[in-house]
Structure 1
């Protein structure tokens, strides 16, 4: 016969204990899940903050490339990466830790030169709490890479002088389409093949008097494809776009001999509007300064001293004395040169003179001892 226990005293306590254990487990699980969710959210927030700081660091380099802070241009940091710099070449520039403008973290990294046009910016960043070491496990960090390409200016250089009008070359003036390396410039590429001395439109004329020299292959090139747009459009870049990116904008005037390097102590002074670099002393403080200069209006006159970079002239330009310019010169009006003295050239690089019909005088007069030399190194 089966016996059934009739006394159930103590069962309530056992059930209560089991219930407490189950409820406690549920509560602990809920707390654990909530804590994990909070930690995950916090980690995601720190990762996103670190990513934002890294992104700011990458684009801050590009955004402030041409900026001037306390009289020093940021691009001096990257001067050693230029294709043909004055201070030698290398393929990397490193950055120490810098605090983001948002104050949410700091970034540091390296920029690598892959070739003369392509660069890799490698940036690492941490948010403020992670960087301070206040987060268990080291906190969050992000690493971001960006490939950046220099936007080249496609000038289609075919001559030392490209002219949209008539040209008069007199005296002992010299125009030479053979490649010349500027004296004292380190790292210039091998000499380029000879360009034309003067390139004109089919209707353009080149007249000479005295004993001028016009050299090149050929000395004079009459190009039926040369149009007004050749002087204002350079690939996907226009003359107007170039003027908008000018470092220096000044009205046309008689500059006399004021165009010269300017320094503050041992540093180049970029605030001086007549400081256009120091091409004849490439290892000096302003040797790596290649500004884009925009002269507005008509009737600009320059006598002595020097400049380099890109010179944009809305009107006509008269260059006298011993002034030298190294780089690209684009003149909307006409060009007149004279003198030259003991300097080897007025212009190194290439000169484009539109001789637009908007101006009365559309004839270029190159006289005296003026020299205009093609130089690939000065253009690059």
Structure 2
């Protein structure tokens, strides 16, 4: 009987596993590599999102910083931009309030109504290169708040008032020569004085207004006031202080860089606006004279004039704004012109002296001259956001 031969090289069916470990290991490595790559990608995305959020927050803070700086340091130049006109751009490229932000802000101011402004501020963070950083734009609607100056006459005083020659005191509201103002005019009384006092016009002189003259008790604490600011407050805010005596040749003055020289005590602004350099046209100083003053010799000025003693105007002097005098007022000679309002306590004696206006002098009520003073003095005006819904994020609006 023949022996059966068995092939020992034949494996049982389905149990041949040659080469399986290597593909499995490679597959596992690929999976691990994909997981690691995905982890790095997600981590990078999270980092980019976090960095973008941080830059966006910094850009928003920069934009708000620019807006707040403009609101805090607002000083309208000639009333600000015209209604519907081109916006006034300020602080182009100004560095942000915090050095760590490494960015800039720019503010554009547009006037959209009477004393209503829209402020658009853009903050740019340029950190980490050309393709990084962020830009955010915010806007706010703000109203110009101004101090109230209750000027009810061209001249408010105590005691008798007399005009002679060709002198004129007028309460009919007019704009001064060269001044630009919006709004309607409102006529006032020519003279307001205390009960029992006389207002007399002699020769070709005139006192006119709506009405010509009125009588009212004179209280210096109420009369010498601009908004909430009394006499002492205004003196403390004075830009120029002079001892009194003769004051001559007040006129616009410029420094070596052709900028308005606000340190010069005889620079009282540019009311006529005929000087080629316009830099002093919006300079309205508060001028405090600590004694009796005689102002003459073709002087020019604008702002608020505070006189502790008497005031003697003569010799072609022009002033636009508010004149407050604790003592007596005397105006004589041709060419003396005051546009705005004049207030004189006339010494506050029991029997005040006679206030005289002679020659071709003019005291002319002008709400335009008064509003220009109020609007251009930083201590008397403020730009504030409107109360409801003033702030808006303009970044995604395409403005």
Q: Taking structure 1 as the reference length, what is the TM-score of the superposition?
A: 0.76
Q: Describe how 1:1-380 pairs up with structure 2 within 5 A.
A: 16-17=25-26, 19-65=28-74, 78-79=77-78, 81=80, 90-95=85-90, 97-100=92-95, 102=98, 104-129=102-127, 134-135=130-131, 139-163=133-157, 165-172=158-165, 173-183=167-177, 185=178, 187-188=180-181, 192-201=185-194, 203=195, 205-208=197-200, 210-211=202-203, 212-223=205-216, 227-236=219-228, 238-239=230-231, 242-243=234-235, 245-246=237-238, 248-264=239-255, 267-282=259-274, 284-286=276-278, 288-295=281-288, 297-313=290-306, 315-321=308-314, 322-331=316-325, 333-341=326-334, 343=335, 345-354=336-345, 357=348, 363=353, 365-369=355-359, 370-380=361-371
Number of residue pairs the alignment of both structures matches = 351
CA change 1:190–1:50 in 2 (3 A) is: closer
Superimposed CA distance per residue, residues 265-295 of structure 1 (whole angstroms, 9 cap, x where no aligned partner): 7654333221112223446425623313130
Structure 1 runs not aligned, ≥5 long: 67-74
Cα RMSD of the aligned pairs, angstroms, is 3.7
Deviations, residues 141-170 of structure 1 (Å, cap 9, x unaligned): 01122333322232232210123x324325
CA distance in 2, matches of 1:323, 1:186: 17
Rg (Cα) greater in structure: 2
Q: Distance in 2 between matches of 1:49 and 1:19?
A: 44
**Structure 2 unaligned regions, length at least 5:** 1-11, 372-399
User: Whose RCO is larger (CA < 8 A, sep 6+)?
Assistant: 2
Q: Deviations over 1:175-212 (max 9, x none)?
A: 211223323x25455873431111235x4623548545
Asked whether the equivalents of residues 168 and 206 of structure 1 are also in contact (C-alpha less than 8 Å), the reply is yes
Partners of 1:56 and 1:364 in 2: CA distance: 56
Structure 1 residues 80, 365: closer, same or farther in 2, change over 3 A?
Answer: closer
Please list the CA deviations of residues 67-126 of structure 1 after superposition, one character each: whole Å capped at 9, or x if unmatched. xxxxxxxx6xx4473679xxxx94532358424155522333422112231222222231
Distance verdict in 2 for CA 1:81–1:91, change over 3 Å: farther
CA contact (8 A) 1:243 1:312 kept: no
| 8 Å Cα contact 1:96/1:108 also seen in 2 | yes
